Structure 1
Amino acid sequence: MALIVQKYGGTSVADPDRIRAVAENVALTKRRGNDVVVVVSAMGKATDHLIALANSVSKNQSGREMDMLLTTGERQTAALLSMALADRGIDAVSYTGSQVGIITDTAHRKAKIIEVRGDRVRAAIAEGKVAVIAGFQGVSTDKEITTMGRGASDLTASALAQALGADACEIYTDVTGVFTADPRIVPQARKLAKVHFDEMLEMAGAGSKVLAMRSVEFARNHDVPLHVRSAFTWEQGTLVSNEEPSVEDPIISGVVTDMTEAKITVLGVPDQPGVSAALFEPLAEANVNVDMIVQNTSTEGTTDISFTMPMADLAEAKSIVQKVAEQIGATKVTHDDDIAKVSLVGAGMKSSPGVAAKMFRVLADEGVNIQMISTSTIRVSIIIPSADMERAAIALHTAFGLDSGADYSAPLPERK
């Protein structure tokens, strides 16, 4: 008998019909002789609606009260799924994150897991029950309800799988697995049978929305393989694990696109020690997650610094940077929210020189102007005008031999 942790995302449980379909799959898994623990997200856009509701009644929401509000979405799903399972003769019980002992630090809205106790889950499993757990939430060391950020239901599932010693952790979503590119942008993208954690981590960091970055990082660090599957087709998906790629695997595993970032440029920055710290420390204190940074060569004692951050943080970042620019004597601050990030990711880059050069040649032939470049051992990311993103992604996907040979035909979720 295997212990299987299954996580179902918001689109997988978006309405009563979807919840009943999920209940059928859970029941089938249970009837095959497995122990099952289920982690659920809020239904569809329930979290967005709760945030909008908060915005309609208050301009200044405390982290504590927002966490109290937002956790209700997942609790609703957990209770409804347990009811649907009961109708199918499956004994199920729903729990909040705090009830199963997911202990976090005290940072509201983006808490980090400190410990997963799981005693009540183990007791439910011992009684032959399916435990249905509200994802993305826990209880802090100060005994306050906390949430762990958007997409953290994946993290809840990974953490529970590790704590319980599960035999499998299945992440059910609205796509059939991890693809070489977003099929909505690159029609000839194909599904990958397996991906190394390091590659998946780079993909998540580059903007892929299939798995949340923190869940991948946790799963890698604790060696919890993740099986990414579709809750709509139930077909085999993509295994994400620490298994090393073989020599036959392609150099590049995927082309990742992201249109959720913005760029700020500070012109005429005095080229002297401490200036960069003065610029980026206030951003860090405000929890603005800076991504790519480029500093030009100093000319006549000044330089220009450009960096990217999530579009959602642009207004706050502009305000902070403008104040710092005045303090350090910079001449001007500009911003650009009409950009896109395109990344090549592949473990084969470690032993294959020339990937960046080929990437730049392909883009040059397409007439795409590169604004910024960032690299790691297995990733090359560039910032380009958003209007060029689709053309660039398709050209790179073809140039690195990733095309499937036919347009992807399965139904796809809407782009967010």
Structure 2
Amino acid sequence: MALIVQKIGGSSLADVARIRHAAERVVAEKERGNDVVVVVSAMGGQTDQLVAMAQELHDRPPGREMDQLLASGEQVTISLMAMALMQRQQHARSFSGGQVAVHTDGVSTRARITDIDRENLRAVLEAGGIPVVAGFQGIGPEGEVTTLGRGGSDTTAVALAAALEADECHIYTDVDGVYTTDPRIVPEARRLAKITFEEMIELASLGSKVLQIRAVEFAGKYSVPVRVRSTFDDGEGTLITVEEEDMEKALVSGIAHNEDEAKVTIIGVPDRPGIAHAVVGAVSRENVNVDMIIQNQGEHGKTDFTFTVPRSDYPLVMDTLDPVCKQIEAEALTGSDRIAKISMVGVGMRSHAGVADRMFEALSREGVNIQMIATSEIKVSVVVDQKYTELAVRALHEAFELDKPVDERDHIH
């Protein structure tokens, strides 16, 4: 008998019919002889509706009240799912995050899990029952309701799987696994049977929307095998697990793209110590994450400094840096919020040379100009004009033959 944690997302719980269907998935796993813990999100669209109502009523809704409000979404689905399971003669019991208890720090709307009590869930499992747990929420040090931020239900599921030493954590969603790239851009994209934690973390951070990066980081830290599956179709999905020897056969596992990017360039910056700190420090104090950074070798004691930030933060960053540029005597501040980052990821890059060159050649053939480049051990990222996003993704998918099984690809040696 295995212990499986099943997380069911909001799109799979959007109405009563879908809740019934999701319950059948839970019962099927139970009838295979496995113990099951279910983690649910709010019904599809409900969280957005609650946020919209809060913003209509208050210019800056207080964090504590937002936690109270947003946690109500999962309160609805745990009860409805428990009822659907009971109707199928299952002993089910619903739990809020506080009732489990999922302990968090006290940061409103973006809390982090610090510990999880196991006793209440273990008691239901030992009685042959199915605990149904509210994802996305917990309880802070002062007994206050806390929420984990967007995608927090994935994190709850993986954390419970780690705490209960589950055999696997299944993330049920509206896609049937992790693909070599977005199938909406490349219909020939292939579903991956397996991918490493390291590769999935990179893909999640680079724009893949299948899983939240926090959940994958948690899974990798505690070695919790995660399987992404479809609520609506049968299939094994994609297993996210530790790196195995045969995984290096795949030169590139996937291509991610992110259009939620903006580029900022400071021209003619005095080339002296402390300039990078003055620029990046000012942006960081506004709680804006800086991503790719390039500092060009300048002439006559001047240099150019370029970096990327989330597109939604672009106006704030430009306003913040205007006085900074005057202070450091820069010649000009420019930027663009019409860029995209295209990234290739694969653990096979560690043992193969020439990946970046092959990438640049493929983009050059299509007339796609590269504005910035960043590399790591298992990824190569480039920034291009946003209008070339789909063209670049298709060109790279074809160049690296990702539509073919790994053994049939033309590898670089």
The aligned residue for residue 358 of structure 2 is: 358
Contact 2:6/2:38 (<8 A) preserved: yes
Contact 1:137/1:146 (<8 A) preserved: yes
The alignment partner of 1:189 has SS state of coil
Cα drift, residue 269 of structure 1? 2.4
Q: What's the TM-score once normalised by structure 2's chain length?
A: 0.94
The alignment partner of 2:199 has SS state of helix
Q: 1:222 to 1:333 in 2, by over 3 A?
A: same
Cα drift, residue 247 of structure 1? 6.5
The aligned residue for residue 110 of structure 2 is: 110
The aligned residue for residue 329 of structure 2 is: 329
The aligned residue for residue 64 of structure 2 is: 64
Cα drift, residue 207 of structure 1? 0.9
Q: Distance in 2 between matches of 1:255 and 1:2?
A: 34
The aligned residue for residue 410 of structure 1 is: none
Q: Distance in 2 between matches of 1:26 and 1:78?
A: 13
Contact 2:167/2:225 (<8 A) preserved: no
Cα drift, residue 155 of structure 1? 0.9
Q: 1:399 to 1:327 in 2, by over 3 A?
A: same
Cα drift, residue 232 of structure 1? 1.0
Code of the residue aligned with 1:175 in structure 2: it is: V
The aligned residue for residue 388 of structure 1 is: 388
Matching of residues 5-44 of structure 1 within 5 Å: 5-44=5-44
Code of the residue aligned with 2:324 in structure 1: it is: V
Cα drift, residue 248 of structure 1? 6.8
Query: 1:158-189: CA deviations, max 9, x gaps?
Result: 10001001111101111110100000011110
The alignment partner of 1:338 has SS state of strand
Q: 1:266 to 1:226 in 2, by over 3 A?
A: same
Contact 1:102/1:118 (<8 A) preserved: no
Q: Distance in 2 between matches of 1:321 and 1:46?
A: 37
Contact 2:225/2:241 (<8 A) preserved: yes
Aligned length: 405
Contact 2:248/2:348 (<8 A) preserved: no
The alignment partner of 1:276 has SS state of helix
Contact 1:101/1:119 (<8 A) preserved: no
The alignment partner of 2:210 has SS state of coil
The aligned residue for residue 280 of structure 2 is: 280
Code of the residue aligned with 2:291 in structure 1: it is: D
1:161 maps to 2:173? no
Query: 1:124-144: CA deviations, max 9, x gaps?
Result: 212222111111111122332
The aligned residue for residue 152 of structure 2 is: 152
The aligned residue for residue 296 of structure 2 is: 296
Q: Distance in 2 between matches of 1:288 and 1:334?
A: 18
Q: What's the TM-score once normalised by structure 1's chain length?
A: 0.93
Contact 1:374/1:380 (<8 A) preserved: yes
Code of the residue aligned with 1:392 in structure 2: it is: A
The aligned residue for residue 222 of structure 1 is: 222
Cα drift, residue 404 of structure 1? 4.3
Q: Distance in 2 between matches of 1:239 and 1:205?
A: 18
Matching of residues 175-254 of structure 1 within 5 Å: 175-246=175-246, 249-254=249-254
Cα drift, residue 275 of structure 1? 1.9
Cα drift, residue 40 of structure 1? 1.0
Q: 1:35 to 1:316 in 2, by over 3 A?
A: same
Query: 1:23-46: CA deviations, max 9, x gaps?
Result: 111122223322111111111121
Q: Distance in 1 between matches of 2:143 and 2:321?
A: 36
Q: Distance in 1 between matches of 2:254 and 2:97?
A: 34
Q: Distance in 2 between matches of 1:72 and 1:217?
A: 27
Matching of residues 43-122 of structure 1 within 5 Å: 43-122=43-122
Cα drift, residue 266 of structure 1? 2.2
When the two chains are superposed, the root-mean-square deviation of aligned CA atoms in Å is: 1.6
Cα drift, residue 299 of structure 1? 2.4
Q: 1:401 to 1:54 in 2, by over 3 A?
A: same
Q: Distance in 2 between matches of 1:313 and 1:36?
A: 41
The aligned residue for residue 413 of structure 1 is: none
Q: Structure 2: any 5+ residue segments left out of the alignment?
A: 406-413
Q: Distance in 2 between matches of 1:281 and 1:98?
A: 38
The alignment partner of 1:179 has SS state of coil
Cα drift, residue 94 of structure 1? 1.4
Query: 1:365-405: CA deviations, max 9, x gaps?
Result: 11001111111100001111111111111111111111249
Q: Distance in 1 between matches of 2:327 and 2:46?
A: 43
Query: 1:298-352: CA deviations, max 9, x gaps?
Result: 2222222222222232233333223432333333322312111110101110011
Contact 1:196/1:245 (<8 A) preserved: no
Code of the residue aligned with 2:134 in structure 1: it is: A
The aligned residue for residue 411 of structure 1 is: none
The alignment partner of 1:243 has SS state of coil
1:341 maps to 2:331? no
The alignment partner of 1:303 has SS state of strand
The aligned residue for residue 412 of structure 1 is: none
Q: Distance in 2 between matches of 1:260 and 1:33?
A: 44
Cα drift, residue 294 of structure 1? 1.5
Percent sequence identity over aligned pairs: 51
Cα drift, residue 48 of structure 1? 1.4
Q: 1:247 to 1:194 in 2, by over 3 A?
A: closer
Q: Distance in 2 between matches of 1:70 and 1:362?
A: 46
The alignment partner of 2:276 has SS state of helix
Q: Distance in 2 between matches of 1:63 and 1:245?
A: 46
The aligned residue for residue 411 of structure 2 is: none
